[in-house]
């Protein structure tokens, strides 16, 4: 495998840490949700050393939850190598969780500089421990901050990622504008997320209600469909270069998903959504039911910034 071009000498700078008084109530709610939930996600998700809090994929040959959780990392890396023609020199993960994807990429690409940003101080703490344990402190940094307010002094990255995080922006356009600020000319933006199978205005009342429950439970700013995402990206000078529907690789028949078909609506009816545990159950069940109904898709989409985009 070719080695990446040498990155700039300066260390990656991260967005300035924020507290609840400096961000909108919506962003503060997202932060509190992950502060309270991250350790539980890692404990019950089964990702182990992969340290993932994103969904697992189950193609033929995958044996357990840890391998399933690593599938997104593998597919994303292969896509980046193919589209860039080489490993990237610098990677930035927007909404990076505890840095699991960055750790995978650091192991795969030994010459790459990597940094991530998350609203959650708890995720930064866990990421710092994992990075130190795996000897990656020289090349990998996770910092607390808001990816909607990137530091203009950060070195541009030629690969920017957002795995199940772009929906926490108030709109697709708001996310894309923020991501574009840190993307180098010719660089690649890869988004992996839950997306509508058709425009929101085409949903039935029942489907729209389920979408609203999903957004409320998981503190989402928006949920888009792939065509709308592509349109918004093109308007900003980002050219779509790849898109893959990964929905068929999800496992929607886990015991906990079956249990949530009863527990999620019950928790919602009892008004328990103010607590993160129950909010996760409520939103998670609404999402799974939307997948079963064909309303939602799990999509990986890649966009490239042309050299002439200011």
235-261 pLDDT tens trace: 999 999 999 999 999 999 888 888 888
Residue 255 has what pLDDT? 83
pLDDT value at position 310? 59
Region 217-221: mean pLDDT is 95
Question: Looking at the predicted structure, is the pLDDT value of residue 6 above 70?
Answer: no
- Tell me the mean pLDDT in the region 68-74: 97
Structural domains of the chain, count? 1
pLDDT (0 to 100) of residue 19: 60
CA 263, CA 285: separation in Å to the nearest integer? 9
**Packed helices 172-181 and 226-235: angle between N→C axes, nearest 10 degrees:** 50
Which domain, by its residues, includes 58? Answer: 20-201+221-252+298-305
Q: What is the mean pLDDT of residues 287-295?
A: 96
* Cα(112)–Cα(133) distance, integer angstroms: 18
List the end-to-end C-alpha distance of the chain, in Å, as a whole number.
32
Indicate if the pLDDT at residue 4 is higher than 50: no
Segment 190-194 shows an average pLDDT of 98
Residue 74 clears pLDDT 90, i.e. is over it: yes
- Is pLDDT above 90 for 45? no
The pLDDT of residue 20 is: 58
Residue 26 has pLDDT above 60, yes or no: yes
Give the pLDDT band (50/70/90) at residue 1: very low
What dihedral angle (degrees, nearest 10) is formed by the CA atoms of 142, 145, 150, 153?
-60
Tens digits of per-residue pLDDT, 108-152? Answer: 999 999 999 999 999 999 999 999 999 999 999 999 999 999 887
Q: Is residue 83 part of a domain?
A: yes
Q: In this predicted structure, what is the pLDDT of residue 17?
A: 57
Does some domain include residue 265? no
Instruction: Classify residue 152: in a domain, yes or no.
Output: yes
In-domain check, residue 214: no
Give me the DSSP letters along the chain.
Answer: -PPPPPPPSSPPP-PPP--GGGS-HHHHHHHHHHHHHHHHHHHHH--GGG---SPP---TT--SHHHHHHHHHHHHHHHHHHHHSS--SEEEEET-TTSHHHHHHHHH-TT-EEEEEES-HHHHHHHHHHHHHTT-TTTEEEEE--TTS--TTSPPEEEEEEES-GGGSSSHHHHHHHHHHTEEEEEEEEEEEEEESS-GGGS-HHHHHHHHHHHHHTT-S----HHHHHHHHHHTTEEEEEEEE-GGGS----HHHHHHHHHHHHHHHTTGGGSHHHHHHHHHHHHHHHHHHT-EEEEEEEEEE-TT--
What percent of the chain is modeled with pLDDT above 90? 83
pLDDT greater than 50 at residue 271: yes
Decide if 280 is inside a domain: no
Burial class (CB in 10 A: 0-12, 13-18, 19+), 110: exposed
Domain membership of residue 145 (yes or no) is yes
Q: How high is the mean pLDDT of the chain? A: 91
Cα(93)–Cα(127) distance, rounded to whole angstroms? 13
Answer whether residue 39 is part of any domain. Answer: yes
Q: What is the CATH number of the domain that holds 157?
A: 3.40.50.150
Any domain includes 179:
yes
Among 73, 31, 66, 76, which residue's Cα sits nearest to residue 45? 66
pLDDT band of residue 278 (cuts 50, 70, 90) is very high
């Amino acid at each position: 495998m070719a080695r990446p071009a040498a990155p700039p000498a300066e260390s990656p700078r991260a967005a300035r840490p924020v507290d609840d008084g400096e961000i909108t109530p919506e962003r503060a709610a997202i932060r509190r949700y992950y502060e309270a939930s991250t350790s539980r996600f890692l404990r019950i998700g089964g990702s182990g050393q992969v340290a993932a809090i994103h969904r697992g994929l189950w193609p033929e040959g995958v044996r357990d939850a840890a391998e399933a959780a690593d599938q997104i990392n593998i597919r994303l890396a292969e896509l980046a190598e193919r589209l860039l023609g080489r490993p990237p020199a610098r990677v930035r993960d927007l909404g990076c969780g505890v840095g699991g994807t960055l750790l995978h990429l650091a192991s795969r690409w030994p010459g790459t500089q990597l940094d991530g940003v998350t609203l959650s101080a708890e995720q930064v703490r866990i990421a710092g421990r994992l990075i130190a344990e795996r000897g990656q402190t020289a090349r990998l940094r996770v910092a607390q901050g808001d990816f909607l307010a990137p530091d203009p002094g950060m070195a541009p990255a030629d690969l920017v990622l957002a795995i199940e995080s772009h929906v926490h922006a108030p709109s697709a356009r708001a996310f894309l504008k923020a991501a574009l600020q840190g993307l180098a000319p010719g660089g690649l933006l890869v988004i992996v997320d839950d997306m509508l199978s058709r425009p929101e205005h085409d949903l039935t009342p029942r489907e729209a209600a389920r979408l609203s429950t999903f957004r409320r439970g998981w503190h989402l700013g928006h949920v888009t469909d792939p065509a709308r995402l592509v349109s918004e990206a093109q308007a900003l000078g980002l050219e779509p270069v790849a898109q893959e529907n990964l929905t068929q690789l999800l496992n929607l028949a886990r015991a906990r998903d079956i249990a949530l078909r009863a527990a999620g609506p019950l928790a919602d009816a009892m008004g328990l959504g103010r607590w993160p545990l129950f909010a996760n159950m409520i939103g998670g069940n609404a999402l799974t039911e939307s997948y079963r109904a064909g309303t939602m898709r799990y999509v990986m989409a890649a966009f490239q910034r042309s050299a002439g985009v200011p």
